[in-house]
Amino acid sequence: MNLNAESITVSAQRRTIVNRASVDVNAGELVGLIGPNGAGKSTLLRAIVGVIRRDSGAVRIGGQAVETLSNMERARALSYLPQDRRIEWHLPSRAVVMLGRFPHQRGFGAPSQACEVAVDRALELVGAAELTSRSAAVLSGGELTRVLLARALAVEAPLLLADEPIAGLDPYHQLEVMEILKRTASEGAGVLAVLHDLTLAARFMDRLILLDGGEVVDCGAPGEVLTEENLARVYHIAALRAEGSGGEYLVPWTRLPHD
């Protein structure tokens, strides 16, 4: 299932935050949404999911306008992992992951066998199977992130949108989450993730969309987007580039003066 967001504009308090931004994510593709702080990445993601209203633009899921889908149909097609990692009550981790099955369930009955299987699979995928009975309130930051990622995966939606899924994780778990996203895409889902880590973005993403001042300023394979010129113009940084055993890599290195 493909996601097409076309010419999305969002403004708040008379300030345009996202300006005619278009994003396409194809099935089986891992796409990174990058850009400096305040570029409008999270706002664009929220507008696509429908958490906030967009002023104009169209969102199509599998070719269908999102307005023609019911809330539940949309929720089954598109899973969203917000930046906000909060769990209000001391829910057991398994109950948190089971909430991913919300759009698949009806009424008050016990969860179906298919739901139990999906939850087991999601927990297995993020390596959190041993956390299931623990209260989500006593998890470490890394464990919490993995449980919430499992919640998003348990929806088993053909599209996954994740807002900074590796923020606050140690390098081991950053790599683990990137591998999980890659695997989810290779199993046929379209994945769009907001990232700040350009090194990991260059390494894992099939395609990058560069956002600056609310507008899409470049789009393409990581090598085409993370050019010296784009990094200087958008991020005001210069990067070190080198060839390693695993291929070419890039590390942000020096700040450049704002002009």
Partner 1 sequence: MIRVSYAALMLCLALLTTIAFMLSLLIGPAAIGLGDLVGSLARGESSTVYVIVTEIRLPRALLGLLIGASLGLAGACLQGYLRNPLAEPGVIGVSAAAALGAVVAIYTGLSLLFPLALPIMAIGGSLAAVLILQVLAGAGSVLTLILAGVAISSLSGALTSLALNLSPNPFASLEIVFWLLGSITDRSMTHVSLIAPFVFGGWALLAMSGRSLDALSLGEETAVSLGVDLRLTRWLVVAGTAISVGAATAVSGVIGFVGLVVPHLLRPLVSHRPSRLLPASALGGALLLLAADVFVRLIPHGTELNLGVITALVGAPFFIYLIIRSKISYGL
Give me the residues that bind partner 1 (CB under 8 A), please: 46, 49-51, 70-72, 74-76, 78-80, 82, 84, 86-92, 95-96, 99-100, 102-103, 105, 108, 135, 148, 151, 155
Q: Which is nearer to partner 1, 79 or 145 (CB)?
A: 79
Q: Which is nearer to partner 1, 50 or 62 (CB)?
A: 50
Q: Tell me which residue of 205, 201, 230, 203 sits closest to 218, measured CA to CA.
A: 230
Q: Which is nearer to partner 1, 138 or 251 (CB)?
A: 138
User: Taking the complex as a whole, how short is the minimal distance between the CB of residue 118 and partner 1, in angstroms?
Assistant: 14
Q: Within a 13 Å sphere around the CA of 100, how many CA atoms are in the beta-carbon half?
A: 32
- Amino acid letter, 46: R
